Structure 1
Amino acid sequence: MKRFAFTLLELVFVIIVIGILAVLAMPNFRGNPLQTAAEQVASHIRYTQHLAMVDDIFNPNDPTWWQTRWQIQFENAAPNPGKMYVIYRNLNKDTNENDNEIARDPHTRQLMRGADKDIAIPPFKYMDNLLISKKYGITNVIFSAGCNASGPTSNRIGFDNLGRPYTRSNSAISPYANLMTVDCNITLVHPDGNAIITVSPETGHVSLN
């Protein structure tokens, strides 16, 4: 009875072929920075919504309590060029975030604000991956008209305890003022193309286009 077996040369050849096929099928370990940035931003918008839904901010002694809702805000990354973002609850009702207002990453406990750890004074307490221009090469963040994109507070989205999205939360004159009524499209601009993140009205559903 004949037995069939690989010779050593054939075995080496098979291993080489398998290696070549594996390399061809393997995703690029460097990844797509635009896609990574878009997925991260979308995830953090969802996390902002989660914080709003689990945090009961109603205060009968505060006549404008709704202005302290959890929100995600995009800013110029001074002193760096480009863009960053921050997740915070606007306790003092201004247009800026303070450390005691900023959300903490549930895993690292870092403050969820973009910053450059290369120039920060240690210990570094913020998150460098939220500095999306330096981390991922994002050159601009553009809000559509559905985000009420006009004025100094148009670069943010807030959520209420039902998860509904609001535009320009800081300037709302009543609890349901600035409730989002149409899709808000957030465009991340990158040299390799654009990615669009859509926040839907009423549900606050976040999707990538």
Structure 2
Amino acid sequence: MKKAFTMLELVFVIVVVGILSYMVASSFTRNPLREAADQVVSHIRYTQHLAMMDDKFNVNDATWYQERWQIVFNSDANTYNQWAYTIFSDGNKNANPNLTLNEVALNPLDPAKYLTGGYTGIIFSDGVGATQEMNLGMKYGVSTITFNAACQFGGSQRISFDYLGRPLKGVPSGFGAIYQRNRMITAQCQITLTDVSGNAIIIAIEPETGYTHIL
């Protein structure tokens, strides 16, 4: 006798396939906040890499450590009041990035662009040379960025690294010595990204090692 599927079996298979398809599609649903966090983690690690490869030591400059590589988060007119960030070494020690002094890092994926999402006085988020996805507000809908007490210093939301990759807080140009105890990050630094709907994700930077990950 020839075997065949019954109508009920066919309907059952179709339903199961539909459910599986929905689950697979859901797993690939875009999560802008997670994408933003993944990007920031990658760029913090890159900042640490730059600091370890290029520590700015200069035997003829007693304050060479003030030029250390850092990542700074900002929201101002040049970012259209959206949260963005920039990776730079402070060559003129004025706490701000400067394109003319080549302080801002080049984008390794596109050397025609700088690793900045916009910063007052140097470049707009949508200007020539800006890496637009580094404007987290415009690209991913991030509405606020906050640092916890472990890495907050003087209201500045930035992290720098020494030649061993150890994370430091505050503005490097304000350092009065190679190391200041109150500038070392000694507890887990948490950077919270929040979107317009109130959803949040936390990026953690571990003390001493500078290991950066998402909680």
Whether these two folds match at TM > 0.5 is yes
Q: CA offset at residue 18 of structure 1?
A: 3.8
Counterpart for residue 131 of structure 1: 135
> Any idea what the Cα deviations from partners look like across 1:17-73, whole Å, max 9, x if unmatched?
646632432246551111111111111101100111111411011110000000000
> Any idea what the Cα deviations from partners look like across 1:72-129, whole Å, max 9, x if unmatched?
00011424122110000111001210111111121112200004999845xx211111
Cα distance in 2 for partners of 1:17, 1:184 equals 45
Over the aligned positions, Cα root-mean-square deviation in angstroms equals 2.8
Cα distance in 1 for partners of 2:118, 2:4 equals 60
Q: Are residue 141 (structure 1) and residue 141 (structure 2) matched?
A: no
Counterpart for residue 176 of structure 1: 179
SS in 1 for 2:62: coil
Q: Comparing 17-26 with 102-111, which one deviates more in the overlay?
A: 17-26
Counterpart for residue 204 of structure 2: 198
Counterpart for residue 157 of structure 1: 159
Q: Are residue 96 (structure 1) and residue 102 (structure 2) matched?
A: no
TM normalised by structure 2 equals 0.82
Structure 1 runs not aligned, ≥5 long: none
Counterpart for residue 59 of structure 2: 60
Counterpart for residue 115 of structure 2: 112
Q: CA offset at residue 176 of structure 1?
A: 1.1
Cα distance in 2 for partners of 1:205, 1:167 equals 15
Q: Comparing 109-118 with 154-163, which one deviates more in the overlay?
A: 109-118
TM normalised by structure 1 equals 0.85
Cα distance in 2 for partners of 1:126, 1:119 equals 6
Partner AA of 1:135 in structure 2 = K
Number of aligned positions between the proteins: 204
Contact 1:143–1:149, Cα closer than 8 Å, also in 2? no
Contact 1:53–1:161, Cα closer than 8 Å, also in 2? yes
CA distance 1:107–1:3, shift in 2 (3 Å): farther
Cα distance in 1 for partners of 2:70, 2:91 equals 11
